[in-house]
Structure 1
Amino acid sequence: MMRRRVLITGASAGIGVALARVYAEKGWDLILTARREAAMQALAAEIRAAHGVDAAVIAADLSEEDAPERLIEEIAARGLTVDGLINNAGFSRTTGFLATEPQAHAAMIRVMLSAPVALSRLVLPGMVERGFGRVINVASLAGQMPATGGDTLYGPIKSFLIKASQGLWLETRGTGVHVTALCPGYTLTEFHDVNGSREQVSSAYPAWMWQTADHVARVAHDSCEADRPRVTPGLANNVLAALGKLLPDDVALRIVAGHARRLGRI
């Protein structure tokens, strides 16, 4: 039986690493991409030894405008086929909209919004033609809540990914392609260390609100295989997502304003 191959962006840390391990465990070959090649090479060696699958590594910076096209060209040049795509690469800016340079905003939009759109458009035709494909767009619980001041673009970008995933799910029904938006809440990864908010979020929220990256990755895999257009891991996160829909805007905005103040963002 031919093994499938999944392309995972942001595969050098956090949820991306957990997803790589889960998909390798399930028998998928991998294409790992991120900026940090050394971290990916170490992960690829671990995965090959543990599961006997192939793991290709391609360093790429998705903040560069033509990076998605160059990445897919390199994959094709290596004679590889993308049967699954996980758009996981991302970061946040918590210093406030006005205190963040426009170039940093542009990079955030390219990595987290433009690149997933471009990569999906590049690989989906082949998936549909072959009658098989899996796409996971790593969104966030934040995409189901009012935007948070101080991290102004993050929630709206994740909301876009959710809506785009739902549209693609509808558009590809009956083709053998599954599209899922993954909406994790607080997850134990390096994400908050990178954006400098580890101390604030750790003190602001109790341990029961946090999930492991491995749990989130397994929920993502199983939900995409079940062809669910959206999944939010964790009961508490689903309750929060429901409240985000039901509460009047003024009440919801006061709540997220309190959240931002606890984190020192406004």
Structure 2
Amino acid sequence: MPQARGHALVTGASSGIGTAIAREYARRGVPLVLTARREDRLQALAEELGGGVDVHVVPADLADPAAPRSLAAKVEALGVPLRVLVNNAGYGVPGRYLRSDWATHAAFLQVMVGAVSELTWRLLPALRACGDGRILNVASFAALVPSADGQTLYAPAKAFMLRFTESLALENADAGVHATALCPGFTRSEFHDVTGTRAMMSRLPKWMWLDAADVARAGIDAVERGQVLVVPGAAYRLLRFASKHLPDRFVLRRMARNSARIRSID
């Protein structure tokens, strides 16, 4: 891949897949702009990576509707060329739809849909102008299968990200921009600690767990070669194949059964 031709902006870089993506870009010599809510985490990561590449830290809370505009302005003010946008920031709201108040759901939708859409819109001209821009949207395997009990907004939000990516890839190919939806399954990170489902998720067999570093490499490799969709892990590729060819009623019954076993859905 072209080395150090422009910076990569990674949202949600303070933990999990976002941190792994930042580390992988740094390993490849790509300078970074890191953003997330937790400035202390970002600074620690910047210190870790800053010995090899240029790293800028721009804290932002994407649940704030004003954040995408402010973040885009701050990135522009840095005066660095932008080549890559990684829309990774995200989280899950545990439980069934009525368990949480609307303010909780509204903040979730702002981060997962609103901020992704607006930040991409604001930064897309710069990505097109550089001649070989890249957009890596971290979706989920949940976007590819019927939604589970307790995923009332999570799976639809990730499905939006997948379809959004497909359109971006088609619309911007003329400018040399590649857009990729990264759809990992269960990945070892802090995600399930935040949602309070770590104990339940530990019941899953080991073969269902992915390593964040492997997921990051798969996503970056895919966006560089122009692959619109990437599903890391042979097991998940097999599951996707099965879900596409089995009757919907069968898949939905399996989802209902598994939801009761591994998710907090009260």
TM-score band, normalised by shorter chain? over 0.9
1:41-77 deviation per Cα after TM superposition (whole angstroms, max 9, x unaligned): 000000012xx21110011000011111100111112
Counterpart of 2:261? 262
1:201-248 deviation per Cα after TM superposition (whole angstroms, max 9, x unaligned): 111x11111111000000011111110000000111111122222222
Counterpart of 1:82? 82
1:99-157 deviation per Cα after TM superposition (whole angstroms, max 9, x unaligned): 11111111111101111111111111222123120100000000101111112111111
**Superposition TM-score, scaled by structure 1 size:** 0.96
Note if contact 1:5-1:30 (Cα within 8 Å) is conserved in structure 2. Answer: yes
Counterpart of 2:171? 171
Give the residue type in structure 1 aligned to 2:241. Answer: A
Counterpart of 1:20? 22
Counterpart of 1:153? 153
Shift of 1:264: 4.0
Give the residue type in structure 2 aligned to 1:32. Answer: L
Give the residue type in structure 1 aligned to 2:257. Answer: G
Counterpart of 1:46? 48
2:263 equivalent to 1:245: no
Counterpart of 1:8? 10
Give the residue type in structure 2 aligned to 1:11. Answer: A
In structure 1, stretches of 5+ residues that fail to align are none
Q: Secondary structure at the match of 2:97?
A: coil
Note if contact 2:201-2:263 (Cα within 8 Å) is conserved in structure 1. Answer: no
In structure 2, stretches of 5+ residues that fail to align are none
Counterpart of 2:108? 108
1:142-201 deviation per Cα after TM superposition (whole angstroms, max 9, x unaligned): 010111111211111101111110111111123211100000001111111110111111
Q: Secondary structure at the match of 1:174?
A: helix
Distance 1:140 1:257 in 2: 19
Counterpart of 1:132? 132
Counterpart of 2:221? 222
Give the residue type in structure 1 aligned to 2:235. Answer: A
Equivalences, count? 263
Distance 1:244 1:145 in 2: 6
